[in-house]
Amino acid sequence: MKKFINNVDDLLEDSLQGFVKAHSDIIQLNEQPHFIQRNDPTPSGKVALISGGGSGHEPLHTGFVGKGMLDAACPGQVFTSPTPDQMMLAAESVNNEGGVLFIVKNYAGDVMNFEIASEMLDCPCETVLIDDDVSLPETHSTGRRGVAGTLIIEKIVGAAAENGMNLTECKALGNRVNKVTASMGVALNCCTVPALGKPTFELDNDKIEMGVGIHGERGHDTIDLINATQIVEIIANAIHDDLNPKKGQKALLHINGLGATPLMELYLIYNLAVQYWEDRGIEICRSLVGNYTTSLDMTGCSITLTLLDDEMIELWDAPVNTANLRWGS
């Protein structure tokens, strides 16, 4: 295994130390337990948004802490849930009379630990569960997974909270955006988890893996290598069937790199996906292309579509100032 590390056990700590030094204008790191929070205190009465999950998906979630998005993020070890004490202390630290909204990707460990934290908290606390991954059926034993659509919910609800939306409304909005968000991923090659030291699965040079998640697990199908148009068609069909949008519907199209895919290829995928949906009368009016929800050094990408109404468009466009998503004033 070749990686830029000193000790596998110190990777998260060493990386967080670098992250906080690079972005000390926006965020700070709480030690023991670890969480990243905004420098500027949560305004009184504003709902405090907190997310978290295993590391290895950077910039998700730590890179999205800041004005207009998350108030705090709790990083676990690589591909490992953070612990309830991280979430509780983060919540106690950033709650300022507006209550706390947890944004949780649907994985058993994350769900359990956020639940424990929310039961032990004294303040009002609600949870939005993200399950945008259409590669697993909704009838799957643990339900669908939360993947790259998560940041879209974080951005839209983050803007709403900044505007003064209350906890109940923020939760409802989060659920509403999650319902109209669908994603699916494909891998050309798997990632190497540092503690394991080798790829979590192997793919021959003429095979690709459809329907992968973000933790180095296998997808639902290993298929022969096909071209980009064919890949986009398989993924977009699954998303389109799930969301079933009407003609004239506006949408946000997010092409997410899983870690090792050149930007040139992500833009090529974006071009094909826009064509796919424009052919079906969908107006792609917002976009996001790049590495946002990664899976360490996995070669692959995911496509996410969110069906937008005017309120969501306004909230998506609202100013945001985080380490890895930044626009507006």
Which sequence positions are flagged as catalytic?
Answer: 57, 215
| Token pair belonging to 100 | 């706390």
List, as one string, the DSSP characters of 144-193: PPP-TTHHHHHHHHHHHHHTT--HHHHHHHHHHHHHTEEEEEEEEE--B-
Report yes or no: 291 and 259 within 8 Å, Cβ to Cβ: yes
186 versus 243: smaller Cβ distance to its own copies: 186
Cite the DSSP H helix spans in the chain: 11-22, 84-94, 108-120, 150-162, 167-179, 228-243, 263-278, 310-317
Measure the CA–CA gap between 54 and 12, rounded to whole angstroms. 10
Q: How far apart are CA 17 and CA 236, in angstroms?
A: 39
- Answer yes or no whether residue 247 interacts with its own copies by CB under 8 A: no
Contacts of 50 (CB under 8 A, 6+ apart): 70, 71, 72, 73, 74, 87, 90, 91, 94, 100, 101, 102, 103
Q: Which of 161, 165, 188, 214 binds its own copies (CB under 8 A)?
A: 188
**Contact flags string 128-157 toward its own copies, x per CB under 8 A:** ------------------------------
Residue type, 271: N
Q: What's the CA gap between 104 and 175, in Å, rounded?
A: 11
Stretch that binds its own copies, among 124-132, 155-163, 234-242, 286-294 (CB under 8 A): 286-294
Pick out residues in 252-271 that bind its own copies (CB under 8 A): 259-271
Q: How many residues bind to its own copies according to rule CB under 8 A?
A: 61
Is 3 among the residues that bind its own copies (CB under 8 A)?
Answer: yes
Q: Which is nearer to its own copies, 139 or 227 (CB)?
A: 227
Q: Is residue 158 a contact point for its own copies (CB under 8 A)? A: no
107 binds its own copies (CB under 8 A): no
Chain-centre distance of CA 78, in angstroms?
15
Q: Select 48 or 273, whichever has its Cβ closest to its own copies.
A: 273
Q: Which is nearer to its own copies, 11 or 148 (CB)?
A: 11
Both tokens of 33, joined, read 């337990």
- Using a 10 angstrom Cβ sphere, with 0-12 exposed, 13-18 middle and 19 or more buried, the burial of residue 206 is exposed
Q: Which of residues 19-58 bind its own copies (CB under 8 A)?
A: 19, 21-23, 55-56, 58
Print the binding letters for residues 201-240 with its own copies: x by CB under 8 A, - otherwise. ----x--x----------------x-xxx-x---------
**In the complex with its own copies, which residue's Cβ is closer, 37 or 261?**
261
CB of 152 to its own copies, least distance (A): 15
Among 97, 104, 105, which residue's Cα sits nearest to residue 48?
A: 97
Among residues 113, 189, 293, 306, which is the contact residue for its own copies, using CB under 8 A?
A: 189
The reply on whether position 15 binds its own copies by CB under 8 A is yes
Which residue ranges make up the site for its own copies (CB under 8 A)? 1-6, 11-12, 14-19, 21-23, 55-56, 58-59, 63, 78, 188-189, 205, 208, 225, 227-229, 231, 259-272, 274, 284, 287, 289-291, 294, 296-297, 299, 301, 324, 326-327, 329
